[in-house]
Every structure is written in structure tokens, then in C-alpha cells.
Amino acid sequence: MITSWWRMKIIPLLWGFFFSFFLDQVTKWWAMTFLYGKDIPVFPGLFELTLQKNAGSAFSLRLLTPTWLFLVTVLISLIFLILTFWPSFRMKASFYAGVGLFLAGAWGNQVDRFRFGYVIDFLKPSFWATFNVADLSIIVGLLLIFLNVWMNDTISKKTKNQSL
């Protein structure tokens, strides 16, 4: 029988991680195979598929060296995993799914850096930098994490005020 600990923490984290990591790697393979040397306008003037090699970090900026990017990824991963396994730390399942999505995105891009020396980006809106599924996973994961922390804090404050 699956305990509530597994159901609330581990299953959402693993599902978010493996689903997103697999989708990221498959779409990057597709982009490298089918977008090499060409662009595909999906919504002309608004959004296109175009292969780009991103040697920088977030949004193609060179904020950190590859070694520092790796160390930061490891550190953030350890913090999230410690929180997940900390017995008294309790959040909703969507928090842990967000952790899984965030970790999948961070490690999906790290895998690219290890394999190629750059990150494969291919989703290009006209108003933003080119990105990939891993980047989307990081953003959605962080939104889920922050929303859960904010909602948990709001509920805690209401409970404290009612008990006074």
C-alpha cells in the first residue's frame, strides 16, 4: 500500500520530473533532426520553430560559467530534495510536482551542456528569447512552488489570526 508520504511527495515529484525530462529530450532531438538549417513559421510574425545553440545561461545571457551553472544546479537540487524528504515539511502535491518540473528543466539543460557544450533552443516567439521545453518546465515549476508557498503562508496567517 502506498503511504500518504509517497502519494503527496514522491509520486508528484517523480511524475513531474520524468514526464518533463522525457518531453524535453525528445523535443530537442526532434529540433536537431528536423529544424537544422530551416525555420518553421507556426504563426507567421508571432511564433516560429527555429534551431538555436545557446552557449549562455538564462535567455542566452552569459551570467555564469558552465562550472558555476553546474554547481548552482546541484545546490538548488539538493535544497529541494532535502525539503522534500524533511519529515515535518508539508506542502500540497502540486508543490512537489513543481519541484519535479523545475528539476527536470534544470537537469534537461545541464544534459545539453554536458553533451554539446550548449543548450538546444527552438521555440521562438517574436517578443522573447528562443527557449525550449526545459525552460518552460523551470518557469511552470517555479510558479507552482511559489504559489504553494504563498498560499500556505496565507492560510497559516489566517489560522493564527482566527486563533487569537
Which of the two residues, 86 and 154, has the higher pLDDT score?
86
Catalytic member of 24, 39, 112, 121: 121
Average pLDDT along the chain: 86
pTM of the model: 0.84
112 catalytic per annotation: no
Q: Per-residue DSSP letters for the chain?
A: ---HHIIIIIHHHHHHHHHHHHHHHHHHHHHHHH-TT-EEEEETTTEEEEEEEE-SSGGG---S-HHHHHHHHHHHHHHHHHHHH-TT----HHHHHHHHHHHHHHHHHHHHHHHHSSEEEEEEETTS--B-HHHHHHHHHHHHHHHHHHHHHHHHHHHHHHH-
121 catalytic per annotation: yes
Q: What is the pLDDT of residue 137?
A: 97
Position 1 pLDDT exceeds 60: no
- pLDDT range class, residue 154, cuts 50, 70, 90: low
Span 94-128, pLDDT tens digits: 999 999 999 999 999 999 999 999 999 999 999 98
Catalytic member of 24, 39, 135, 153: 135
Lowest mean pLDDT among 7-11, 58-62, 80-84, 151-155: 58-62
What's the whole-number mean pLDDT along residues 2-13? 79
Position 17 pLDDT exceeds 70: yes
As a whole number of angstroms, the distance between CA 160 and CA 146 comes to: 21
